[in-house]
Amino acid sequence: MNNISFALAKTILNGFERHISLFIEITQSAKQRFELCQWSKVQEAAKARTTFYDQRVNETFDTIKQDFFIQELNDDLWQQVKRDYIELLKNHQQPELAETFYNSVFCHLFERKYYHNAYIFVESTASRLDAQETPKIFKRYTPADKGLRETIVDIMNDHKSEIPYQDLDADVETLIRAFRRQAEKTRFKLADLTFDILNFTFYRNKGAYIIGRVLSPAGETPFIVSVLHGDKGGLTIDALLTKSESMAVVFGFARAYFFVDCLHPHALVNFLQGLIPHKTKADLYSAIGFHKQGKTQFYRDFLNHLASSEDKFELAAGIKGMVMSVFTLPSYPYVFKIIKDRFSPSKNMTKKDVKGKYRLVKLHDRVGRMADTMEYSEVAFPKNRFSETLLEELMKVAPSIIRFEDDLIIIEHLYIERRMVPLNIYLAEALKNKETEKINEAMYGYGEAIKQLISANIFPGDMLLKNFGVTRHGRVIFYDYDEITYMNEVNFRVKPEPVTEEQIYAAEPWYSVAPGDMFPEELATFALANPNYLKAFKLHHSDLLEATYWQQCQQNVADGIFKDVYPYPDQFRFCYLRGTKQAAPY
């Protein structure tokens, strides 16, 4: 029995080791892709890395089924397997990740009734990491030794790539001025300052990010330095962020995952949370590429929240969807989305199609404009925490995926994502309060969201205001994915002008409309019928009402031209600080 249990534990750990080895390999190669400006390969690598985890879980599952002939759960055996696995993890560098991998394999093998701490890691044993000496993941610099300018040059060179800077001296001068202007806590004598810089560069899309903190008698100042390829062939420092709120947007839930070569994710997440305290550990694990660990951490946090709260789940605010039903817990900043059993007649798709759309979003570059989602199966909720109205609604729209076990309601499949204020509700409230500036900013964000999505090869499909949300940072995010598609699958057309009286007064289109046809000028009619919204939209985005704009974006995608999308406002960019460009609203 013990030999079998150890062999099973070792088989699962071997699967995890293969996963982490491949994960590290593709992560380490991010530096080269950045240096060579291989932007299409950056996208391919991000997509491939996101699939690694499930591939290794499936491989391990198949090995166990084939080699150990597992048919049903043997209680004593699998409790011993968990004990053996814990023993194997005693000196492991990523025990929390290995535990999550174990959970995934186990849940593939056995049914939900065994998903408790006797068999899986509902509670982690990796807390031992908190009691151990923290690995050295950052380097400390003391500017009093060499002077401020030379210290910053050293920091930049310690993170240097094979590509030289266009003008590092000028960039460092701008960086010092930006620090003095933005960060009051750093305005001390050099002898009172210390810099802690993470030992590795964060890569994502076209950017490289150096992250650290400045310690002074006034406290801690977190910061991110953004490095890009300049227009003259070398690297350039593009921006400095010194506020946790701005840094949180860079690590936002609508961004692609970073490539960061750190073998100690637990220590890294703790360090980052010290810099960005309102980002959860779940957020940060996901942001550095360990999205499955993010799911595990989220679910533990969610169980703790349920245990410490009393409010009930209810239908989410906003217009009901034709494909998804959405509910929320008022005290928790997330929504829970399930696919309905039957869709409205206008939705010509299947459940499989919808799942495929959500999978597409998970694998695609979200450019800060599509909410990341966490997909779960067999989720148990306390039945008494559901309002009667919500229970009735769920049983009406999706009875096939809902069942009851004692005092629990089990949902077979759902998505969880950050809760936002639906854009239509946000605008209606601003209109009611005569907040013209809020309307202008929201409509600018709505148009930017569309432009950034289509430049990243995502056609949103249904662009009604209700399908976009506004984050607590005021950013407009798209979150309805059932009609998204790639740009090359759409035919952008100019709406024919009616000539005859019959055409002018026709109730239905008098011209042919094929599947995939899209008439951009109809945005003004269907999505922006309110004249206040349309006026604000046209201030910045009248080009979105013209087919030629969409056709050009479509051609850019086909030609492999990737638009620059910055995860911070223009006013933080050095080219705007130097006055060479005019900043746009965020």
211-268 pLDDT, tens digit each: 999 999 999 999 999 999 998 889 999 999 999 999 999 999 999 999 999 999 999 9
Which conformational region is residue 147 in: left (phi greater than 0), alpha (psi within -120 to 50 degrees), or beta?
left
Query: What pLDDT, on the 0 to 100 scale, is given for residue 505?
Result: 79
Indicate the angle between helix axes 531-541 and 436-455, nearest 10 degrees: 50
Q: What is the DSSP string of 270-321?
A: HHHHHHSTTS-HHHHHHHTT-HHHHHHHHHHHHHHHHHT----BEEPSSPPP
Percent of the chain whose pLDDT exceeds 90: 86
E runs forming strands in 158-257: 194-198, 202-204, 207-216, 219-229, 235-241
Is 372 annotated as catalytic? Answer: yes
Main-chain phi, psi angles of 534, to 5 degrees: -65, -40
Do the strands 517-518 and 491-492 form a parallel or antiparallel pair, or are they unpaired?
Answer: parallel
Task: Return the DSSP state at 485.
Answer: B
Coil, strand or helix at 331: coil
Task: Say what the pLDDT of residue 576 is.
Answer: 80
Give pLDDT, residue 533: 96
Residue with tokens 């009402």: 545
Q: CA–CA separation, 78 vs 70, rounded Å?
A: 11
Q: What's the predicted TM-score (pTM) here?
A: 0.93
- Among residues 84, 171, 238, 372, the one annotated as catalytic is 372
Report, as ranges of residue numbers, the positions in the chain whose pLDDT lies below 70.
1, 579-586
Cα–Cα distance between 28 and 31 in angstroms, integer? 7
